[in-house]
Amino acid sequence: MSYPTGAAPHPPPAPQGAPGGLSGARLALSIVWALAPLYTCGLLTFAVITVAAARLRSRLQIAAAIAYFLLLIPVVVTDTEGDDQYIFGAALIILSIGGLVHALLIREKVFQPMAPYGGHAVAPPRGPAHPMPHPGAPGPGPMTPPGVAPGAGPHPHLAAPPPVTPHPAHPANPVTPVTPHGPATPPTHAAGSWPPPPGGPGPRTPSGPWQGQPAAAAPARHFGPYLLLDKLGEGGQGTVYLARHPDGSRVALKVLHQQLSDKERESFIREVSALQRVPSYSTARVIDAGVMDGMAYIVSEYVDGPSLQRRVQEAGPLSADSLIRLAIATSGALAAIHRAGIVHRDFKPANVLLATDGPRVIDFGVAKALDQVTTTAGVKGTPLYMSPEQINGEPITPASDMFSWASTMIYGGTGRVAFAGSNPYQVLHQIMSKEPDLSGLPGPLIRPIAACLDKNPRNRPQAAELIAAITG
């Protein structure tokens, strides 16, 4: 499994001796952020307070973000020349002036440096003060293992296990039952569109300090029984490592940012247990999952190949035949996921990997598992590939995945997003009210994709019906 490399969602800890106010770039950025509601006439107030809610993990800020979103609705839909102009004006004043005052009041809190994983420091290990280091590791290496702040002592589950002799044939990994404690980049757009094109390398570029060197050059670190070889990427859900399974094969180890309490642990385990029921054809097979000291993780088959997003960014749209093959394979993968009683909820080009033996769909069901243990409110998903019902907060069914599938196929075949806009609100408006341009798609895909983009989820075909529709 490979993942897009992105900016770390949590900034590094503040330097010692500077516990007080903000300084330097942080101060300048916080002022620009706080003034955003004013110089956008309130249109970005919802986004500004949503950032604050995510950073502070505050239910009060979550409620405020929802309130600003509701106030934004009359601004977007009200006729400024009709009788409702006073409603429009009042909402705009509250969004701009109220949002400005709100942002200024919480500015310093929002931009204070945070510890990794949202400020929840991992407790020091119990037992000897100086655990035995792994053989061959001279000391703390450049890679910071999951759940350990830079400069902190070793995590109890990152100690070195006994040496493991890799199996010479690298057999397929057996499915490990899920236990509570476990075993001992955006699409290409035109200028000015949202979101801006990413800078930097694609998803398979190592991001550790040993970039360009073989993984063996990094000091050995372990997460439970898994030897960490490299850091593949980091996103909104978690950090992904290339790791070695005890049987010698390579796996993708995803450590989620969300810290779990004992109560949340059971919900997470229950949800990820269902992922192991999904057949492994056209999907990255889930091998293991669990929670270690509040750190949730998922281990899956490692797929050596770029994402569809990276492939289109670097080499342009797929050919007609390649897109048809991709459409058939991914619709089959979604059919298998849906038969297991799972909805993907975040189907997008970054979650489709192009391996040499065929495409793989990854990260299915992870969003649902996190929904069970997070208190974050508001719209969830990747806006460019969301369905109308996701935007409306309606129940999510397999039909939502079909809408996202169609948007992903348009991107793969044309290099453009199905619903574009200069900001997130325009994108969401396009999804709710506009029909996308299907020109440039191969003939056999036009009608199936158009059917999957129906605004009414009841009218969309099921994944199992797509293969017949495409080849018929």
Residues labelled catalytic: 346
Whose CA is closest to 186, among 178, 174, 195, 177?
Answer: 195
**Residues in contact with 56: Cβ distance below 8 Å, sequence separation at least 6, in sequence order:** 106, 109, 110
Burial class from Cβ neighbours inside 10 Å (0-12, 13-18, 19+) for residue 128 reads exposed
Q: How far apart are CA 51 and CA 109, in angstroms?
A: 12
Q: How far apart are CA 151 and CA 276, in angstroms?
A: 36
Whole-angstrom Cα distance, residue 13 to residue 16? 9
Angle between helices 59-77 and 424-433 in degrees, nearest 10: 60
* DSSP letters for 324-389: HHHHHHHHHHHHHHHHTT---S---GGGEEEETTEEEE--TTHHHHHHTT----S--S-GGG--HH
Rounded Cα gap, residues 255 and 264, in angstroms: 16
* 286 CB-near residues (< 8 Å, 6+ apart): 175, 272, 275, 276, 278, 298, 299, 300, 301
Give dist(CA 18, CA 111) in Å, integer. Answer: 13
SS3 50: helix
Give the span between the Cα atoms of 197 and 187, in whole angstroms.
7
Number of other residues whose CB lies within 10 A of the CB of residue 159 = 16
CA-closest candidate to residue 258, choices 159, 383, 146:
146
Q: Which amino acid is at 120?
A: H
User: Shortest CA distance to 143 belongs to which of 234, 249, 66?
Assistant: 234
- Dist CA 339 CA 13 (whole Å): 44
